[in-house]
Structure formats: structure tokens, C-alpha cells
Amino acid sequence: MRRAASEVETPGQRAKVGPIRAFLAMLAFFVAPLLPAAAGAQEAADPVTGFAREPIHVASWPGGKKVAVVFALFVEEFGFGQGPVYRPDLASRNPDLVNEAFRQYGVDRGVIRVGRLFKELDTPLTIVLNAEFPGKYPSVWKEFRASQPDAPIVAHGMNNTSRMLPLGRGLAEQKAYIRQTLDMIAGATGSAPLGWSSPSVYSNGDTPEAVAAEGVLYTLDQMDSDIVQRLKTPEGFLMLLPYPVVTVDMGQELARMQGPRDIEALWLDYVLELAAEARAEPTGEATAVVIGIHPFVVGTPDGAAAMRRVLLRLKQEDLVWLTDADAMRKAAGLD
């Protein structure tokens, strides 16, 4: 529709309006973060996928808790001569028996020790599982699962080295890989995973849509938040559980050379600071953190001792909810 002559801006008017619009846009940029959050969710574009991403506002977790903490044990298959190394200076050896022993100790001893510890302390645990693990180590899996029969399983691809996500080969190949992973885990364990964690935390823009298409409800691939969010993919909503980089024990031990006591202090500082923030602002929204743990770190005797101290201390904190990934998803109100 054409505007009336009286409504048409003159060049002089446009010259005045342009700077005003620019000033208002700049003002909004700086003021918006200071304003109270709207009652509804605020959509933003996810930087990787381009899909709409929005926070899930949780006032409090069950029992009035304000900080949800999930410990997720990564039960992984690497293959001989492959996987993380404790002694990089020895990695050129062939065979590299020192680093192989480091990885194998986690499989043979660490997985079972961690399962037993969480059972003893009656603390929820989430299992992040490579599909190949139960078939490769059936006795270890049987003993571990007996200690954690109700722990939810998050699918973690086929293995962590040679059969990872087929990145760069299109959406259809990722969907097929994810479906094979889910079916293999369900067949080996009798439990159909509702969650996903990309092996080696290595995914791309196709992955969220692919996992949503295969019926996955939540993912641990999101590493940039203190709150639960959801991604609106063409295949439906995918819940994003916060999995911050700095709390993962493997990165702290192998990349930053931190021992179990250092990691213990980091975890307690991280969680208790969230609780302190919640105590200072009781009306603020609840926060969440998924902490990744690995059997070659917390599955050693000294690592288990540090893990025990962390769990016992967090159990004393009245604002902390120790839970599992499935329970967190349900409590966020999207079940």
C-alpha cells in the first residue's frame, strides 16, 4: 500500500531518523541484559545449527533445591593402542604398554569401583556408554550393571576412537549411525537410551537434528550454560543439559595435569558457588551441571577417595540436588 504524501519521509527527515534508530539500537544492546527476564522463554539462534534455542526456566528442583548435579560416568571402548594417554612422552612407543595399562586399568578396575562407590553412598549415577563396551567386556559390564541396575544410560556412539560420528557425510549417515548405536545398546542392556553424548564430544550442525529424528530427548553436547535449554530442530525439541568443559575430570587430569585432590577442590568450588549464588538470590532460577567422570581418573583408589569426599560434602548442602540425567529432564517439566 502506498503511503499518503503527508506520511512520506523527506531526505531531511531520514537524515534525522537514521541516527536516532542507531542510538536506540545501541541503547537496547546495552540495556537489555540489565532488564528482568520475561516470563516466557527468549529464543536465540544456536550458533552451530542456526536453530532456535531457548532457556527452560526452572524456579527450583524437587525439594526446593536450586542446583541440580549429575555425575555421568563415561564407560568407553578405545581399542588397543588407541585412546587417551597419561604419559605423552611415551606415546611414540609401539607397543605403548604404559598408556595401554592406564586405559585398561579404568576398564578392568575403575568402572566397577565407581559403580560400587555410588551404590555404597546411595547416590544417583548416569552411565554414558559406548555401544561396543558391553560386548567387548561382558563380565565387567555385568558386574558394573549389577551395582547400578537403575542408572539411566546415555548413548555415546559406537566407540571413542575408530567408530565415531560420520561427520561431514550428511544428515542421513549420522541418523543411521545414531540408530545403530541406540539399537545396539538397547539389545545389549535391555535399556533404550533417551539421551545422547557424541563420542569424544565431537559433533557438528547435523547432529542435534539427527539425534532428535531418532527419538533422543536430550543431549550432553551443550557446554556453554548453567541452565537447561532446548533446541528447536526440524525433528522436534531436543533438551540441552549443561555439560561444562571445565568440570570434566579427564581434561583436568590429562590436559591440565591436575590430580584427584585438585579436581575435588574444583568440583566443590564450582557447585558450592552456584549454591552460594542461589542463596544470595533466592528468587533466581535454578541451575544445573552435568559433571563428566572417567574410570581411569575417579576409578583409581586415590580418585575414588576424592570422589567419596565430594559426594559426602555435597550431600550436606541443602540447596544441592544430586540426581541423574533422566530425572533432571523430567524435573525440568518437559516429560
Residue identified by cell 555425575 is: 71
Residue identified by cell 544417583 is: 124
**DSSP classification of residue 251:** I
In this structure, of 15-29, 40-54, 139-153, 188-202, the range with the lowest mean pLDDT score is 15-29
Flag whether pLDDT at 156 surpasses 50.
Answer: yes
**First-last CA distance in the chain:** 47
Residue identified by cell 574410570 is: 295
**DSSP classification of residue 52:** E
pLDDT of residue 42: 67
φ, ψ dihedrals at 141, nearest 5° = -60, -40
pLDDT in tens, 245-287: 999 999 999 998 999 999 999 999 999 999 999 999 999 999 9
pLDDT of residue 333: 81
Q: Decide if 51 contacts 210 (C-beta within 8 A).
A: no
- DSSP string covering 13-28: HHHHHHHHHHHHHHHH
pLDDT in tens, 227-249: 999 999 999 999 999 999 999 99
pLDDT in tens, 49-106: 999 999 999 999 999 999 999 999 999 999 888 899 999 999 999 898 998 999 999 9
Q: 65 forms bridges with which residues in the sheet?
A: 61
Nearest partner of 60 among 281, 307, 335, judged by Cα: 281
Q: 239 forms bridges with which residues in the sheet?
A: 218, 230
Of residues 135 and 6, which shows the higher confidence score?
135
Q: b/e map of 183-197 (b: 16 or more CB within 10 Å)?
A: ebbeebbebebbbbb
> How confident is the model over 171-179, as a mean pLDDT?
98
Flag whether pLDDT at 7 surpasses 80.
Answer: no
Flag whether pLDDT at 27 surpasses 70.
Answer: no
φ, ψ dihedrals at 190, nearest 5° = 80, 10
pLDDT of residue 335: 57
CB atoms within 10 A of CB 127: 27
Cα separation of 144 and 172, whole Å? 34
**What is the average pLDDT value for the chain, to the nearest integer?**
89
φ, ψ dihedrals at 287, nearest 5° = -110, 175
pLDDT of residue 43: 77
> How confident is the model over 111-130, as a mean pLDDT?
98
> How confident is the model over 211-225, as a mean pLDDT?
96
Most confident of 15-29, 70-84, 93-107, 120-134: 120-134
Q: Decide if 99 contacts 85 (C-beta within 8 A).
A: yes
> How confident is the model over 96-121, as a mean pLDDT?
96
pLDDT > 90 fraction of the chain, expressed in percent and rounded: 81
The model's confidence at residue 31, banded by pLDDT at 50, 70 and 90, is: very low
Q: Decide if 303 contacts 311 (C-beta within 8 A).
A: no
pLDDT > 70 fraction of the chain, expressed in percent and rounded: 87
Q: CA-CA distances (angstroms) from residue 206 to 158, 160, 230, 254?
A: 18, 19, 16, 29
Residue identified by cell 557438528 is: 204
pLDDT of residue 4: 39
Q: Decide if 144 contacts 75 (C-beta within 8 A).
A: yes
